[in-house]
Structure 1
Amino acid sequence: MTLDDFRREIADPAIEFRPELRWWLAEGLHTDATLRREIADAHRLGFGGMEFLAMDEGEIDHARYGWGSEEWVHDSQIVVEETTRRGMSVSFTSGTNWSNANLPTIDPDQRAAAQELDVVHETLAAGQSRTGALPRIDLDAPIAETTLPGHRGRIRQQNLVAVVAARVTGEGRLDAASVVDLTAQAQDESLDWTAPDEGEWRLFAYWMHGTGQTASPSASINYTVNYLDRDGVDAVIAYWDDVVLTPALRAEIARNPRAQMYMDSLELSTYGVGGMFWGFTLADEFRERRGYDIVPWLPFLTRDAPFMAVSTVYHHQPADEADRLTVEKVRFDYVRTLTDLYIENMLRPFAAFLHEVGMTLRAEISYGLPFELTRPGPEVDGIETESLEFGAQIDAYRLMAGPAHLFGKQYSSETGATTRNHMLDHRFYDQIIATQLAAGITKTVLHGWASPAGAEGVTEWPGHEGMWPMFSERFDTRQPGSEFYPLWTAAIGRLQYALRRGRPRIDVGVLRTDHFTDNLIGMALIGPNGERIPDEVAYGTMWMRDRQNHWWQDLGMQDAGITYEFFDGSLLLRDDVSFDGEEVQPDGPGYRALIVYQSTLDADVAAHLRDCARRGLRLVIVDGARELESLMAGRHRTHEGAATATPGLDGRDDELAAIMAELRRMPGVRVAGPSGVVAALDDLGAGGRARFVDDDSHVLTHLRQDGDLTVLYAYHFLYETAEPTTVRIALDGEGAVHRLDPWTGAVRPHRGARIDGERTIVELTLAPGEVAVVVLDRSADHLDSAAPATVEVARLDVWRLVVESWDAGEPEVLTEDPGLGYVSREVRPATAITRMNAGEVDLAPWAQLDTVGPEVSGIGEYTATVTVPDLAAGARYVLDLGSTNGGLGSVRVREAGARGFDTAHPVVDVTEDLRPGDNLVAVRVSSSLNNRLRARGYYERVPDIGAQLTGEGRTQHAIVRDYGLVGPVRLLRED
């Protein structure tokens, strides 16, 4: 690609680069007119695709409108038709809590349904005998506590899997050496057995039964499928093949090159005391893969996990500390086997089926369950993460960037889910997107979109909520800011276009294996004294923005501009991952070095690293690294020594020790503590392709390579600080440097670059929250240039303000007769807009203006006149708005077109719009709906999901938010 190609294509980015939407439908209730209108609106506002799913719509008839009903099938056809007609992508949504991930054709007692291993036990004194039937699971007993949505249906069958006894010691621990497998002695679910003469004994009876997990809404009861045995995916394929994918729907899918199935996070639950995911083949598969029997170890595997895998607490620990490592290895082998079966029996066959019908598979792989996070990456077409569960943290985004970049997968994120519905300014969401881009996420799926129209009796202004009124933002037409979405979505499209060019260039790959990754960062919103921490405070001032990354905690690489990401070391063993003597996966991320830091490492991976090191691989072995286990629990772990044991019970610790001893002596390997990693990388000649000349603690970068073009993304991520930063970045190679304006698509020469040997030094001054994209064109000659001098031409202090105040209007009732003997009715709340002429004002938040006040939400139009006697030839003129309180908006000078602006750094290039003399400037700034909804009492009945998830039954606490243009507004000239 040439710079001219880049300039031409980015000016108006194609629809596939635009942000997409998660769309919550009111089951199948919506009229055809509503569906077509919503898709037309989304397309008009510049969105590139719709991912749709059915949400529970209160008291409507689920049998008529729920998933699987004739209405839902019809609506799905309309959605696919309308999105395809406009060139938009379309995604069906699958996931445990969405009914279309589950099936009406199965019940919990069938092999295709999700299974769990439950347990009941007896206590026996020394020498005590027991005879007769083994205790069974009380399937009608209260279920284990869980905070995940969904509920358990009726389960009827249970099958005895194993019987194990163990001696109990003090504090309820078990003597691992005493464990005896009694399964073979149990006949017809009965057992005659006498406990040994020493100590107290516990007899465990393990029964498999369906989890019974269901989800709503649906036309009938739909049960969660089995993710571990092939029966589950076969049932899913059969249902979609025979029932959902009608000939008409298949024909529409065939016309859409971007039709997808989206698998949401794996919020699978077990409800019994055992707490273990199980399958009909799991014990046999474990024995075949791991080389030993899992049954004697079952007492050490039973667990509670009230809120996803990270909350796992095991029921029993070994009495002898010498057995602790062995038990940890068995636990690892269990969850490794779960991951194997999920890959082989669900993802792989499901993806193959989807490809046959013309769809691709995009998935939030693994997280939520005790599965390894990165190994499933090669099995799907797109890897998705999300902002909510991971708290929009850069280290969390790096977790799945590794497999995405290693295997060339589209890396996307579900973006904008928060616990603060309608409250936060637009800048908050822009900063989430900016953080994602810094990790290489180049597809934003906004969470989300809902039609204002919904069921009568439950739908109030500002409209149908979709994902409840407490768990998401709305990026639809109910927002005052939607007027400016075409400008905004084009800007995001340009950024995503720039960062999909060519190959990602990541400096370092960090080997990391974790089956219990903390995906509850975004829920850790309760302070040490029980206080509710607002989302905007946590995201803006805590965690990464308080210099606390989670999984690689030393900030030396980040501050130096050395990029890195994580992946499981076993991915290096795949045939489609290569090392060319310089880089790992040269056609992908091109890691120049790898890091090993966790205390466990697979011996085969270690041997592979040794082989590659002999061929020139640069490797840093890091001792003493600390990483997060659970933020809510305040639990971390420190790896005193790297790779001191294999993770599983494979008997290869001595082999690993010998390999690591050899590696530590090799010339291309360095051994360091976390703080010594940067020096080690420098010593190895792997110090970064976009290295900061001087360390900078404010900036994150991401790099792409496309032929002669190097695309650099830089982001000042400390957006709640008041301090700009000037960073100098050294790029490999020489050439001409250009900078992209995402809001206009202009690609202009960048002033502030020089040559230093075989590097180009780019100087960037970034305001808090500002992003910059520069392009180094190595096919063109470089011209040294100093950063421009900035002169204030005028300060605009006299403004007139008119506010378009948004409030509830008269709703519209929509009806549709589908010809099935009933009439569907939905209500569409309307917005009434009142113009409030505030007159001449000093720039201040609306709540402080007597002519506006604290109850108003909407759009403010500010007008002023700036006089420019002369325009300097060759100079660049920008209008610096100072602050819009995070509000999205536009600027218009004279009769020129509206120009958008960055909500963190609202500076607009007006060079082409100014004329000598008087120039009328109109600035339009939107607000959230918070102040109006607060005045209407909306939040008094909205639960605070952030508090609820930690057991606190609170409603949302809404404060008056600052809105509007507050300046100072200055016209600047860059010479």
Structure 2
Amino acid sequence: MSIDDLARMFASPAIEYRPELRWWLAEGLHTDETLRYEIETAHRLGFGGMEFLAMDEEAIDHSRYGWGSEEWVHDSQIVVEETTKRGMSVSFTSGTNWSNANLPSIDADSPAAAQELDVVVEELRGGERRDGALPRVDLAAEPPAGILPGHRGTIRDQHFVAVVAARVVSGNILDTESLTDLTDEVRDGALAWAAPEGDWKLFVYWMHGTGQTASPSASVNYTVNYVDPDGAQAVIDYWDGVVLTPELRAQIAQNPRAQMYMDSLELTTYGAGGLFWGRTVAEEFRRRRGYDIAPWLPLLTRSVPFMAAGTIYHYEALAEQETTVGKVRFDYVRTLTDLYIENMLRPFAAFLHENGMTLRAEISYGLPFELTRPGPEVDGIETESLEFGSQIDAYRLMSGPAHLFGKQYSSETGATTRNHVLDHRFYDQIIATQLAAGNTKTVLHGWASTAGAEGVTEWPGHEGMWSMFSERFDTRQPASEFYPLWNDAIGRFQAVLRQGRPRIDVGILRTDHFTDNTSGFAFSDGKGGRIPDEDAYGRLWMRDRQNHWWQDLGMQDAGWTYEFFDGSLLMRDDVSFDGQLIQPDGPGYQALIVFQAELDADVAAHLLDWARRGLRVLLVDGTRELKLLTADEHVFHERAAARTPGLDGRDDELAATIAELEALPTVSRIADPAASVQAMRRLGVVGRAEFVDDDRNVLTHLREDGDLLHVYLYHFLYETGRPTTVEIALPGSGAAHRLDAWSGGIRPHRGTRSDGVRTIVSVELEPGETALITLDRSAAASDSSAVAPTPVLEIDQWRMSVQSWDAGELQVISEDRGLGYESREVRPGTTVTTLDGGTGALRAWRHLEGVGPEVSGVGEYTARFTLDAIEGGARYVLRLGSTSGGLGSVRVNGGEARGFDTSFPAVEVTDDLRVGENEVVVRVSSSLNNRLLARGYYDALPDVFAQMVGDPTLTQRTDVHDYGLIGPVRLVRE
């Protein structure tokens, strides 16, 4: 692509680059009129696609409208037709808590249903003999309350798996040398056995369905088995024979961006064993790992209160046996990952491809599966801002496989627990963080029609994803007026950052079966208080300069980029090393870091082979990484690559390989992570977009597209930082351009110099501000000095008014499709009242006489100013100061509306100015917080975080927010 091609693409980004929406439908209740209205509205506002799912709606007949009903099938057809007609993408949604991930064609006892390994424990003293039937699981017992949604249905069958005896050392400590598999001694369900000397426990294991179900659906739908082949086949059979009607297939065939989206793996077990299981697990474990799993089951037995990261083992080993037990535990979850890949992802993806769809998935996390190994099996890898707290290191966890294998990397974006509370800048900062990690597809969480069921739908509208989770990027928001401008800007960023290939400096080998995806719920202040999301995101963790997994910030501060992946991915046939770079046509890693104590022997041998050919490898001892943020638990790695992770007997082989590796000139070992950058510099690594001097405020992401280099910059300390000027050294010589995502314009960048080898680009950034620079290496270098802005004037007198939003009349929408019943929904209207804010200096709405603290909506500010002259060739920029985080627009002299960055709201107005009198109109939106607070909305709104930690009585707490244009507003010449 040439710079001229880039300019054309950037001016008007195609629809596939626009943000997409997660659409929460009120089951199948919505009328055809509503469905068409919502899709047309989303398209008009500039969104690029709809990912739809059925959410539980109160006060309706689930058998008529739930997933699997005729109404739901009909609505699905309408959604696909209408999105396809407009060139929008369309995604069906699959996930444990959305019923279309589960099946009415199976029951809990089917092998296609999710299975667990449960346990009943007997206690025996030395010499005590037991003789008789083995105890069975009480399937009728009430399961313990869980945090995840869904519930357990009816389970009837249980299948004997194993019985194991273990000597108790003390408490929950077992002697591993005493583990005795007694399974072969069971006759007709009975066991005769005498305990040797000591205290013993007898563990009796039974497999049965988890019984997990989800609502809403037309019938009871059970979650499917993700590890045995029966599960995927049942899903394929159901979709092939029931869901994908000829009409739906025809529509899908016309949409080149039809997808299946696999949402969070929120599967759960309810029994005392806590182990995911299946009919093939034991056999596959033996075949793959070379030993039997049965004797080790007592030390695998666990509880998982929420997600896999919180796994609590019921029994532990003696200190000298802990390493062995850790290896067995690793082998179990490695086997589960193998089966998830081979028995679910591969066949399901193949089926979708045959039917004109791709597979986008939130792979692995939430379950004990390795996080990155499934990456090559899907078409798109998705993460989310909610569970990971929008942390840059969390996004790096999954960007590795995305970039290694050229997968679209996307994120479910914007979910928090602060519905309607937060300003728009908060969400812009989430998107900015994602872009810095190479995430270039934003799927907003989410969209809901304001229309919903009668009797339960109130203003501001049908909630969709429950009222506990935000946000709704739909027409209930005052900011929706400005969504077309906003979507243009995000679309431009995403368009440029999908061009060419990512260039990542360093790959970090990291294996993770228990990824902490609960960071986004770590809101306790340690004193029983609740930290608001906005404070945690804006001031803690990465904004307190504390990354979670690679905790040294040296590479980040140097402008180097890095990301994580499991080392086994390097051994795939579609990954190459050319003597300098790994995956040269992809991320092009210049070096690898090994820091975990465990390293697979085959991976080590692979590294040795590549290192002999020139690969640079750094082994880093003394590292620490996050295990579970909510419990402040970390893992310390005293020595990198000290042992193999599994019970394979290859520790000595690994040690020999590592010794050979360390003897090579391209390999180094260091004892302090803080010395990583210096050590890699000694190995010859130079960051492709490194900073001339370290900068503690800025994140970058680099794309290379032929002669064009695109570098994205983000000042991530948006609440705690100060303005910064960073100098970036880019490889090659050429002309630098500044890309303005809000106007779609490209201009020469002032502030560059070249040394003939690299181009040094200087960029000033305010806290929270982003920038996009393109270096055209096909053009001659043109050094230029940065120009300090010259103040022209300050506008301090404004005529102010506020369009106040409040509840209006309910509109009834009915539909009779000739099926013997009428569907009815109501759409709450919004009353907009214009309030006079007077004339004078800028201040927050709550301080304006005639407006006050109970108002949400859109403010309009009008002012006039006089220019005696306009300097030719100069740029004139209107700097708005603060808009209280609100999205908005600027018009000068009746020109086109121009949007702005909510962190640094500045708009170029050169073409609209004239000598003499000028008029400027600024419009700024708010959230609905102040109006809903005044209406008592939050008084009964549960705090989802409090519910998770056991206090269902706590409601959301929020205060009156400052809204509107605060300023100061200055016109500057650049």
**Length-normalised TM-score, structure 2:** 0.99
Structure 2 counterpart of 1:677, which letter?
A: S
Give the SS at the match of 1:851: coil
User: Are the aligned partners of 1:525 and 1:947 in contact in 2 as well (CA < 8 Å)?
Assistant: no
Name the Cα RMSD after superposition.
0.6
* 1:2-41 paired onto structure 2 within 5 Å: 2-41=2-41
* Alignment equivalent of 2:643, drawn from 642, 645, 659: 645
Aligned to 1:922: 921
Matches within 5 A, 1:740-759: 740-759=739-758
Superposition map of 1:227-238 within 5 A: 227-238=226-237
* Cα distance, 1:722 vs structure 2: 5.3
Q: Which residue of 1 aligns with 2:57?
A: 57
**Judging changes above 3 Å, is the alpha-carbon distance between structure 1 residues 394 and 722 closer, same or farther for their aligned structure 2 residues?**
closer
CA distance, structure 1, for counterparts of residue 366 and residue 604 of structure 2? 28
**1:213 aligns to what?**
212
Match for residue 539 of structure 2? Answer: 541
Mapping of residues 314-713 of structure 1, within 5 Å = 314-318=313-317, 320-672=318-670, 673-713=672-712
- Say which SS state the counterpart of residue 557 (structure 1) adopts: helix
Do the aligned residues in 1 keep the contact of 2:622 with 2:636 (CA within 8 Å)?
Answer: yes
CA contact (8 A) 1:708 1:777 kept: yes
8 A Cα contact 1:146 1:305, kept in partner: no
- Please give the secondary structure, in 2, of the residue aligned with 1:648: coil
Deviation at 1:756, TM superposition (A): 2.1
2:82: which partner in 1?
A: 82
Once residues 612 and 421 of structure 2 are traced to their aligned partners in structure 1, the CA distance between those partners, rounded to angstroms, is 56
Residue type at the aligned position of 2:880: L
CA distance in 2, matches of 1:885, 1:595: 42
3-state SS in 1 of match to 2:865: strand
Query: Cα deviations across residues 637-696 of structure 1 (Å, max 9, x unaligned)?
Result: 111100000000000000001111111121001112201110011111212100100000
Contact 2:737–2:746 (Cα < 8 Å) also in 1: yes
C-alpha deviation, 1:571, in angstroms: 0.2
Shift of 1:952: 2.2
Asked whether the equivalents of residues 813 and 825 of structure 1 are also in contact (C-alpha less than 8 Å), the reply is: yes
Q: Given that residues 468 and 944 in structure 2 are in contact (C-alpha distance below 8 angstroms), is that contact kept between their aligned partners in structure 1?
A: yes
Residue segments in structure 1 that go unaligned for 5+ positions in a row: none
Give me the whole-angstrom Cα distance separating, in 2, the residues matched to 1:738 and 1:220: 58
- Equivalent-residue separation in structure 1 for 2:928 and 2:421 (angstroms): 7
The aligned amino acid for 1:266 is L
Runs ≥4 residues deviating over 6 A: none
**Would the aligned equivalents of 1:751 and 1:786 in 2 still touch at CA under 8 Å?**
yes
Partner of 1:725: 724
Say whether the 8 Å CA contact 1:475–1:482 is kept in structure 2. Answer: yes
1:124 CA displacement: 0.7
- Which residue does the alignment assign to 2:715? 716
Q: Is the contact between residue 3 and residue 709 of structure 1 (CA under 8 Å) also seen in structure 2? A: yes
Mapped to 1, the partners of 2:463 and 2:484 lie a distance apart of: 23
Taking the aligned partners of 2:525 and 2:346, their CA distance within structure 1 comes to 42
> C-alpha displacement at 1:588, in angstroms?
0.6
Aligned-residue identity in percent:
72
- Contact 1:526–1:947 (8 Å) recurs in 2: no
Q: Shift in Å at residue 145 of structure 1? A: 3.8
- Deviation string, structure 1 residues 795-814 (Cα, Å, up to 9, x no partner): 00000111100000001000
Are positions 1:798 and 2:803 aligned together?
no
The question of 1:962 aligning with 2:954 is answered: no
| Distance in 2 separating the partners of 1:49 and 1:851 | 41
Pair 1:905-2:897 in alignment? no
| Contact preservation (8 Å) 2:688, 2:730 | yes
Give the match's secondary structure for 2:191.
coil
- Which amino acid in the other structure matches residue 530 of structure 1? G
After TM superposition, the structure 1 = structure 2 runs for residues 873-952 of structure 1, keeping only pairs within 5 Å, are 873-952=872-951
Name 1:785's counterpart in structure 2.
784
- Aligned residue for 1:554, secondary structure, equals coil
Alignment correspondent of 1:813? 812
Pairs aligned (count): 972
DSSP 3-state at the match of 2:132: coil
SS at match of 1:891: strand
Q: Kindly provide the amino acid, as one letter, of the partner of residue 49 in structure 2.
A: G
Instruction: Map Cα deviations across residues 349-385 of structure 1 (whole Å, 9 max, x no partner).
Output: 0000000000000000000000000000000000000
Alpha-carbon distance, 1:839 to partner: 1.5
- Contact kept, 8 Å, 2:59 with 2:454, in 1: the verdict is no
Residue type matched to 2:514 in 1? F
Which one-letter code corresponds to 2:761 in the other structure? V
For 1:534 and 1:508, the matched residues in 2 are separated by: 35
- CA positional deviation for 1:634: 0.6
Distance in 1 between the 2:576 and 2:142 partners?
52
2:97 and 2:266 in contact (8 A); partners too: yes
Residue by residue over 1:424-446, the C-alpha shift from the partner in whole angstroms, topping out at 9 and shown as x without a partner, is 00000000000000000000000
Provide Cα deviations, 1:95-138, integer angstroms capped at 9, x if missing partner.
00000000000001111000000000110110111111000000
Secondary structure at the aligned position of 1:747 is classed as strand
What secondary structure sits across from 1:389 in the alignment? helix
Aligned AA (1:249): L
Partner Cα separation in structure 1 for residue 209 and residue 721 of structure 2:
55
Report deviation, 1:211.
0.2
| Whole-Å separation in 2 of the counterparts to 1:84 and 1:922 | 37
> Residue 47 of structure 1 corresponds to which residue in structure 2?
47
Q: Corresponding residue for 2:850? A: 851
1:115 corresponds to which residue? 115
**Distance in 2 of aligned mates of 1:93 and 1:732:** 42
Residue 144 of structure 1, CA deviation: 3.3
In the alignment, what sits opposite 1:822? 821
**Which residue of structure 2 lines up, in the alignment, with residue 147 of structure 1?**
147
Partners in 2 of 1:374 and 1:145 — Cα distance? 31
Preserved contact between residue 697 and residue 721 of structure 2 (Cα < 8 Å):
no
- What corresponds to 1:199 in structure 2? 198
Matches within 5 A, 1:306-317: 306-317=305-316
Report Cα offsets for 1:242-281 as digits up to 9, x if no partner.
0000000000000000000000010000000000000000
Q: Distance in 1 between matches of 2:529 and 2:411?
A: 29
Residues 624 and 639 in structure 1, CA contact (< 8 A), matched pair in contact too = yes
1:90: how far off?
Answer: 0.1
Give the C-alpha shift of residue 170 in structure 1: 1.2
